[in-house]
Amino acid sequence: MNKKYVLTLRGLLVGILLVLFIFIEIGSRHVFTLLQDLSSTESPQASASLDLVPVSAPMPTLDLAAVSPTTPQPVPVKTPLVLFKGKIEHVFFHPLIAFPELAFDGDSMAQGYNDWFITVKEFNKILDSLYRNQYVLIDIGSLYTEKDGAVRPKELWLPADKKPLVLSIDDLNYYTYMRENGNAFRLVLDEHGEVAAYSMTPQREPITARNNEIVPILDDFVLAHPDFSWQGAKGVIALTGYEGILGYRTDQLDSPNYMNAKEGVLPVIKRLKETGWSFASHGYGHLDTSKITLNRFKQDTLRWKQEVEPLIGATSVYIYPFGSSVLPEDRKYQFLVEEGFRIMCSVGPVPYLAFKPDSVMMDRRHIDGIALHDQRSRLLPLFDSQEIWDSIRPGSGPK
């Protein structure tokens, strides 16, 4: 081939590549400027939930046609926030019945499980109903602010038509009786580093699953329905300490296995916090606050702070065992405030939230067999228990 012809061809190719590079550079700068303009018009009120693409974010790969100045660019839709002024629901559960054949087997524990627990099937239906009814999970700590020891209500701004919901789980400790009656055994991290439940089937086969306990079920539900969680909130895990926490025997401080238990539970706690879960004290020994003496109550509270708090971190939430509360004038209540607790949660049939100068009092609805059977009308704002009821339960359905 003629040498002069080869040089001319190479020059032509270089020229084409140069023109193409300039065309792409101009188009990408146009898109970059457009995103800057869009972000400058964002409402401060909506910025907490619906941020536009940051100016510093890497640009996605675009076709040449997409960067043309004449091609309309998609404009993000912003959801307006409104100040919520209604009642705030708080519902709580116990660990789920993973194996109904063990829970409803007619032994001495069967009635208790029918009264105080719900099945996996029921929990899944409840989540679906709460979502359809426009509830959104919020962090219980977002309800108040504190300055110089004074506690004040905090404004709650939510997407329009959404209703706030606090969710908590009591006794996610996996006591010995739970392991024998159809609950999971402990929370663990699965092969992907996500929180799952370790269980033994009725056939005594070990399984690790994400579909038979509240935490992983709710995690996956929020993953599929991000608008069910406001700012990443999930729920509050209320723990005692007398049989360890989350299925690990962290109560046996003198045991040679204590360090193994501690090292096993800490990564689970870390992942729970990373994924929107928080913790509360449920007392160390699950004692009835209103019935025990002040001295015993102090001992119980301090033991929880000595054994459990170092593992889960400090918390401002105290959830009364049995829902048995005391009034702010009671020395037990005052002791809780002195120990750093600010939100005291009891049990009640309807939403209740009251602010005191140094604390907050909140009631929770118990969602269990008794509630499903006896409180259908009261629960209708949340769900219809006739639709929730699992036919595997003994006895008749909801009234």
Q: How far is CA 262 from CA 239, 246, 255, 282, 308, in A?
A: 15, 11, 11, 19, 11
Q: How far is it, in rounded angstroms, from Cα 299 to Cα 284?
A: 9
Q: How confident is the model at residue 22 (pLDDT cuts 50, 70, 90)?
A: very low
Consecutive H or E run containing 385: helix 385-388
336: CB partners within 8 A, 6+ apart: 301, 318, 344, 359
Structure tokens, 133 = 């009814």
Q: How far is CA 138 from CA 44, 100, 196, in A?
A: 20, 31, 22
User: pLDDT tens across 121-160, in order?
Assistant: 999 999 999 999 999 999 999 999 999 989 999 999 999 9
User: pLDDT tens across 255-311, in order?
Assistant: 999 999 999 999 999 999 999 999 999 999 999 999 999 999 999 999 999 999 999
User: pLDDT tens across 67-103, in order?
Assistant: 333 333 333 446 799 999 999 999 999 999 999 999 9
Say which DSSP state 74 is in. Answer: P
Of all residues in the chain, the percent with pLDDT exceeding 90 is 79
